[in-house]
């Protein structure tokens, strides 16, 4: 069955890999991101076409409930109901607690945590009605171990797994399975923004000896969204090269 899979934060490194993996799985992939239009949107879609994937692209602000509602309603009019949701959108606004502004706290919570609610609320009832659904929430290693200067990010990403477990309870008997993935340090533009000397120290602490790549996460997304993955829900998958073991 050609199920529709919606990925948020889709044009970044992780999001693009997720879109590619789900397309290769045979899903009809819908990419959603913020401020993606015009030449940038055309370039991203053309890159996917060259890879053999026709992926629809919609603009959405996951921090805005009404934007999420309008986006999903448009997708359902254009293509049909959403059966797979990957809540991948996320931002950082780092700073120690004594310097962290209310605006930086709120921005991260609104996108990284409330954004998952805003999107999930639009598709979860339909999944329950159809008695099939897959939701994957992208958390972080720093939700598990904490990180200096990331009280906002660590809190939001830890909240995602609590959100996952509660939804997993609600959806399990209706065939709606909900899981979390907690990536470690993956070679994306967000991680490459970390100063080189700090990134080198981080890489040296990872038991496998190197950063991950987006495909490491995307393969797990595809597994969790597979029709055959019927007995995994409420779980958190740590993909971090052994950097944090719990």
Closest by CA position to 158, among listed 177, 144, 137, 168 = 144
Catalytic residue, chosen from 58, 153, 185, 231, is 153
| 8 Å CB contact between 63 and 90 | no
Query: How crowded is the C-beta side of 115, counted as CA atoms within 13 Å?
Result: 29
Q: Which helix (H) or strand (E) holds 133?
A: strand 133-138
CA distance 153 to 18: 21
Q: How far is CA 78 from CA 66, 72, 82, 185, in A?
A: 18, 10, 11, 36
> Which tokens go with 237?
């998958």
Does residue 185 carry a catalytic annotation?
no
Order of strands, edge to edge, in the sheet holding 133-138? 56-59, 28-33, 4-8, 82-87, 133-138, 176-183, 236-239
Closest by CA position to 246, among listed 91, 115, 139, 116 = 139
Closest by CA position to 58, among listed 27, 36, 80, 28 = 36
Instruction: Kindly compute the dihedral angle of the four CA atoms of residues 202, 113, 17, 44, in this order, to the nearest 10 degrees.
Output: -120
* Residues annotated as part of the active site: 153
């Amino acid at each position: 069955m050609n199920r529709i899979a919606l990925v948020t934060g889709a044009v970044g490194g992780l999001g693009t890999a997720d879109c590619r993996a789900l397309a290769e799985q045979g899903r009809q992939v819908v990419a959603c991101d913020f401020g993606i239009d015009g030449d940038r949107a055309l370039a991203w879609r053309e890159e996917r076409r060259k890879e053999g994937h026709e992926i629809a692209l919609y603009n959405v602000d996951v921090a805005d409930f009404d934007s999420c509602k309008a986006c999903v309603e448009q997708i359902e009019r254009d293509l049909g109901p959403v059966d797979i949701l990957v809540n991948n959108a996320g931002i950082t606004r780092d700073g120690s607690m004594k310097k962290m502004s209310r605006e930086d706290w709120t921005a991260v919570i609104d996108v990284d945590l409330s954004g998952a609610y805003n999107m999930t609320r639009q598709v979860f009832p339909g999944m329950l009605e159809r008695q099939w659904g897959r939701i994957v929430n992208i958390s972080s290693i720093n939700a598990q171990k904490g990180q200096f200067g990331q009280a906002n990010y660590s809190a939001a990403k830890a909240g995602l797994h609590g959100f996952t477990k509660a939804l997993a309870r609600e959806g399990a008997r209706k065939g709606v399975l909900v899981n979390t993935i907690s990536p470690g340090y993956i070679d994306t533009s967000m991680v490459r923004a970390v100063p080189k000397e700090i990134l080198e120290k981080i890489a040296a602490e990872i038991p496998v000896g190197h950063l991950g790549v987006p495909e490491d996460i995307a393969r797990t997304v595809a597994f969790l969204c597979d029709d055959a993955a019927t007995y995994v829900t409420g779980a958190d998958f740590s993909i971090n090269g052994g950097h944090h073991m719990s």
